[in-house]
């Protein structure tokens, strides 16, 4: 009887060993493929982390997955980038969002993009033009095609060089005001 109990106990121990061994082996086999799948998924999605400096609102949003823009995410981004002076919301050019995403990755940023100005209503733009000759009469901000921003932890000059290298549109460098202007108009640069 003692031998039967010992044999049964040894068989259970052997099964447990094999089951744990197989589990360990399969984890070793599947974890790299899971990591590859996750990296593949990240490669096929675009995300923005934004903070509106005027309203204090923050947003982290995946706005593009597998070649398609996500309408709900675009609406959230449009709202965050609204004209904070008039509370008017406009459609932001999706190409601008892709450009911001590319810039963020180009400089390997870990912090959010700090938004100074997104969409501007014609009324706001006219008001700003009265106070500054640097505000364009037909500003791309009024078309939802421009943004003024900076990225925490990234030197403004470094940000400017990276933005210019992307050749995604206009890049305006404003060191005194500590922001960079990006738009999806023709490629051009100014200070």
Write out pLDDT tens, residues 131-140: 887 788 889 9
Q: Is the pLDDT of residue 10 over 60?
A: no
Helix axes 156-166, 94-106, angle to 10 degrees: 120
How far apart CA 117 and CA 19 sit, in angstroms, is: 59
pLDDT tens digits along 103-112:
999 999 999 9
Token digits for 57?
């609102």
Instruction: Provide the strand spans (E) within the chain.
Output: 45-52, 58-65, 68-69, 113-117, 146-151, 170-174, 179-183, 188-190
pLDDT tens digits along 57-105:
999 999 999 999 999 999 999 999 999 999 999 999 999 999 999 999 9
Q: What percentage of the chain exceeds 70 in pLDDT?
A: 77
In the predicted model, what is the mean pLDDT of the chain? Answer: 85
pTM score of the predicted model: 0.76
pLDDT tens digits along 138-158:
899 999 999 999 999 999 999
- Dihedral angle, C-alpha 36, 40, 43, 46, nearest 10 °: -120
Pairing, β 179-183 against β 113-117: unpaired
**Which domains, and CATH codes, for the chain?**
44-190 (3.30.1380.10)
């Amino acid at each position: 009887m003692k031998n039967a109990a010992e044999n049964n106990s040894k068989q259970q121990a052997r099964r447990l060993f094999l089951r744990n061994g197989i589990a360990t082996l399969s984890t070793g086999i599947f974890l790299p493929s899971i990591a590859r799948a996750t990296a593949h998924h990240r490669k096929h999605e675009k995300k923005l982390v934004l903070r509106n400096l005027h309203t204090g609102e923050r947003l982290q949003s995946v706005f593009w997955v597998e070649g398609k823009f996500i309408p709900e995410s675009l609406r959230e981004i449009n709202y965050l980038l609204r004209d904070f002076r008039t509370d008017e919301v406009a459609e932001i050019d999706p190409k601008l969002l892709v450009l911001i995403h590319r810039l963020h990755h180009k400089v390997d940023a870990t912090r959010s993009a700090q938004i100074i100005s997104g969409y501007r209503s014609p009324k706001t733009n006219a008001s700003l033009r009265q106070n500054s000759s640097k505000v364009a009469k037909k500003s791309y901000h009024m078309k939802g095609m421009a943004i003024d921003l900076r990225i925490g932890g990234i030197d403004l000059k470094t940000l400017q060089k990276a933005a210019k290298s992307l050749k995604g549109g206009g890049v305006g460098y404003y060191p005194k005001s500590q922001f960079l202007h990006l738009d999806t108009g023709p490629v051009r640069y100014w200070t």
